[in-house]
């Protein structure tokens, strides 16, 4: 069930009114209802994968209890490893089995050997990477004494499967979301309005910006003879597409959850306004970046110790992050490129110099900020070529073709110009609202009622008139 579908437009209002009107002031009934609604939401993709979701939930729920009740340190560690390894094995089988079999066969062929092991027709369950990481963080937080395990099966199951974040995040922490599930929730009109605004903005970014950018990006990446300027524009369009698509999904998820009384983790903080790659990764897919930081980078030693260890740990988390995205060398190359891009700031210990918002409190940035933002955007766009390419050969061919006819004018039509206008509008709004949780929040109570509503209606009209062809959210495949 897509957030930008008619089915969801029917599903969510029903859930909203039953949740707040029929089950008002009954937290237990609300949680049971949300759990059932979440399983229904997920089952609309493929009901068979509900069993996998349930198994993962059971493993981490009982694993967390066992870790907590173990009387010895070795017992706690044993149960923690069992829960973590079994869940990673499930994830590895569905996501990486065919990749490793293919690479093993390629390795044997180097020595003139063949293998009788064959790849399998495995369907990747939607959202498996996300709900697996929800469960793993829960067990690891219990092991590290950051949280006590819940004995309420419904509450924990809802934490793992809450439908706004189930299939593409953000990757929540039990320390943040479970207390909200366990407490009474009160309907607040202001939160509902704020949630609706964020949903509206997320829909605009997805169906107007991302889906239209996808058409041009697909044309550039899907083969054929293209000028270098067209390929550059194709890479830029994909750079805009993946941001509009994923941050749009996150906006809808956060807005939907807020309307139900929950505050999810902010997943994007206007990353394309970053002044270096280190800042970019503090602002892009924040829940995943912070997950790898807390559960992989810090346990490896983080930045403690020698510079060589810091460099090693940085490369590990970026390469693992790339591989998390998919079983393809292109994702590993994408992660490696970002590690290389961030190295100068790591070595010079400048990776935390841009912690504030660019041009904070100012309408316009300085020339220095514009230059740094432009360079960071260009580096990110270059790395996205590997992320979008079908394989490494495709990525290198795409890059090698860019110098050809680079100075020729790329192909434009009316729809392309409208798309450019729409993503420029998106950037203008997000620039104005960059000190808020999301761009459209800038048009809040401080603005005149007429101005606010005129802008909201304009966005709605743009969604109706300029919606691109319906496309699945990119991060559903991860």
* Ramachandran class of 265: left when φ > 0, alpha when ψ lies in -120 to 50, beta otherwise: beta
Omega cis (within 30) before 170: yes
- Whole-Å CA distances, 348 to 268, 301, 344: 26, 19, 6
Residue pair 101/119 in contact by the 8 Å Cβ criterion: yes
Note down the domain range covering 413.
190-275+354-477
Give a three-class secondary structure readout of 394-405.
HHHHHHHHCCCC
Q: Are residues 129 and 255 in the same domain?
A: no
* Last residue of one domain, picked from the residues 151, 186, 221: 186
**What pLDDT, on a 0 to 100 scale, did the predictor assign at position 476?**
73
**What pLDDT, on a 0 to 100 scale, did the predictor assign at position 115?**
67
User: What are the tokens at 7?
Assistant: 């089915």
Q: Are residues 63 and 135 in the same domain?
A: yes
**What pLDDT, on a 0 to 100 scale, did the predictor assign at position 116?**
66
Residue with tokens 């560690």: 77
User: What are the tokens at 145?
Assistant: 């004494």
User: For the packed helices 329-347 and 367-388, what is the interaxial angle rounded to 10 degrees?
Assistant: 150
* Last residue of one domain, picked from the residues 171, 186, 201: 186
CA angle 253, 254, 259 (to 5 degrees): 100
User: What are the tokens at 335?
Assistant: 């992660």
State the number of CA atoms in the 13 A half-sphere of 400 facing the CB.
6
Q: Are residues 46 and 119 in the same domain?
A: yes
In a domain, 230, yes or no: yes
User: What are the tokens at 126?
Assistant: 């939607």
Report the distance separating Cα 265 and Cα 176, nearest Å. Answer: 8
Sign of the dihedral defined by the CA atoms of residues 344, 347, 348, 351, in that order: positive
Whole-prediction pTM value? Answer: 0.94
Nearest in space to 96 (alpha carbons), one of 284, 320, 316: 320
In a domain, 207, yes or no: yes
In a domain, 301, yes or no: no
**DSSP string for residues in 462-473:** HHHHH-------
* Ramachandran class of 326: left when φ > 0, alpha when ψ lies in -120 to 50, beta otherwise: left
- As for how many domains the chain has, the answer is 2
State the number of CA atoms in the 13 A half-sphere of 312 facing the CB.
9
Active site residues: 325
In a domain, 306, yes or no: no
Q: Are residues 107 and 33 in the same domain?
A: yes
**What pLDDT, on a 0 to 100 scale, did the predictor assign at position 376?**
97
Task: Report the Cα 405 to chain-centroid distance in Å.
Answer: 35
Residue 7 has a CB neighbour count (10 Å cut-off) of: 12
In a domain, 294, yes or no: no
**What pLDDT, on a 0 to 100 scale, did the predictor assign at position 5?**
85
Report the distance separating Cα 288 and Cα 313, nearest Å. Answer: 16
Contacts of 83 (CB under 8 A, 6+ apart): 59, 60, 63, 64, 66, 67, 135, 136, 139
Residue pair 34/155 in contact by the 8 Å Cβ criterion: no
**pLDDT tens digits, one per residue of 68-112:** 999 898 999 999 999 999 999 988 888 888 887 877 777 677 777
In a domain, 98, yes or no: yes
Q: Are residues 182 and 203 in the same domain?
A: no
Q: Are residues 38 and 155 in the same domain?
A: yes
Q: Are residues 125 and 155 in the same domain?
A: yes
Q: Are residues 89 and 13 in the same domain?
A: yes
**pLDDT tens digits, one per residue of 408-460:** 777 778 888 999 999 999 999 999 999 999 998 888 767 888 888 999 999 99
* Last residue of one domain, picked from the residues 186, 213, 230: 186
Q: Are residues 251 and 389 in the same domain?
A: yes
In a domain, 323, yes or no: no
In a domain, 339, yes or no: no
Q: Are residues 202 and 181 in the same domain?
A: no
| pLDDT digit string (tens) for the chain, length 478 residues | 788 888 999 999 999 999 999 998 899 999 999 999 999 999 988 888 899 999 999 999 999 999 999 989 899 999 999 999 999 998 888 888 888 787 777 767 777 767 666 666 677 788 888 999 999 999 999 999 999 999 999 999 999 999 999 988 899 999 999 999 999 999 999 999 999 999 999 999 999 999 999 999 999 998 778 888 899 999 999 999 999 999 999 999 999 999 999 999 999 999 999 999 999 999 999 999 999 999 999 999 988 889 999 999 999 999 999 999 988 999 999 999 999 999 999 999 898 889 899 999 899 999 999 999 999 999 999 999 999 999 999 999 999 999 987 777 777 788 889 999 999 999 999 999 999 999 988 887 678 888 889 999 999 999 999 987 767 787 776 6
**DSSP string for residues in 246-275:** HHHHHHHHHHHHHHTT--PPP--S-GGG-S
Q: Are residues 181 and 214 in the same domain?
A: no
Report the distance separating Cα 313 and Cα 47, nearest Å. Answer: 39
């Amino acid at each position: 069930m897509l957030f930008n579908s008619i089915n969801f437009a029917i599903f969510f209002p029903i859930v909203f009114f039953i949740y707040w009107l029929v089950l008002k002031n009954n937290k237990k009934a609300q949680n049971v209802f949300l759990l059932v609604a979440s399983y229904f939401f997920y089952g609309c993709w493929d009901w068979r994968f509900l069993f996998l979701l349930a198994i993962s939930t059971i493993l981490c729920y009982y694993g967390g209890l066992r870790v907590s009740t173990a009387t010895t340190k070795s017992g706690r560690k044993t149960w923690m490893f069992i829960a973590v390894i079994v869940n990673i094995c499930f994830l590895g089988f569905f996501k990486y089995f065919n990749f490793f079999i293919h690479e093993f066969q390629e390795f044997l062929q180097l020595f003139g050997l063949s293998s009788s092991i064959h790849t399998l027709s495995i369907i990747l369950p939607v959202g498996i990477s996300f709900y697996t990481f929800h469960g793993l963080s829960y067990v690891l937080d219990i092991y590290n004494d950051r949280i006590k395990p819940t004995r309420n099966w419904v509450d924990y199951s809802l934490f793992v499967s809450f439908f706004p974040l189930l299939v593409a995040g953000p990757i929540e922490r039990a320390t943040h979301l479970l207390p909200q599930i366990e407490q009474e929730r009160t309907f607040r009109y202001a939160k509902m309005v704020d949630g609706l605004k964020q949903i509206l903005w997320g829909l605009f970014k997805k169906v107007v910006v991302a889906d239209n950018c996808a058409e041009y990006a697909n044309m550039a990446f899907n083969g054929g003879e293209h000028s270098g300027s067209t390929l550059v524009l194709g890479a830029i369009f994909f750079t805009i597409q993946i941001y509009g698509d994923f941050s749009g999904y996150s906006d809808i998820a956060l807005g939907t959850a807020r309307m139900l009384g929950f505050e999810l983790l902010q997943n994007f903080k206007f990353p394309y306004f970053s002044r270096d790659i280190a800042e970019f990764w503090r602002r892009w897919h924040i829940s995943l970046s912070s997950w790898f930081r807390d559960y992989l980078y810090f346990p490896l030693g983080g930045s403690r110790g020698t510079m060589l260890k810091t460099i090693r740990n940085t490369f590990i988390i970026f390469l693992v992050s790339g591989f998390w995205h998919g079983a393809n060398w292109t994702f590993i190359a994408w992660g490696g490129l970002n590690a290389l891009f961030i190295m100068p700031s790591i070595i010079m210990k400048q990776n935390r110099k841009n912690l504030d918002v660019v041009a904070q409190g100012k309408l316009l940035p300085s020339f220095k900020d514009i230059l740094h933002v432009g360079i960071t955007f260009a580096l990110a766009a270059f790395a996205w070529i590997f992320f979008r390419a079908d394989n490494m050969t495709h990525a290198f061919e795409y890059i090698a073709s860019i110098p050809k006819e680079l100075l020729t004018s790329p192909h434009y039509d009316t729809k392309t110009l409208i798309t450019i206008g729409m993503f420029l509008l998106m950037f203008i709004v997000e620039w104005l609202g960059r000190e808020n949780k999301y761009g459209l929040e800038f048009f809040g109570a401080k603005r005149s009622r007429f101005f606010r509503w005129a802008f909201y209606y304009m966005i709605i009209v743009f969604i109706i008139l300029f919606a691109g062809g319906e496309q699945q959210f990119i991060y559903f495949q991860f």
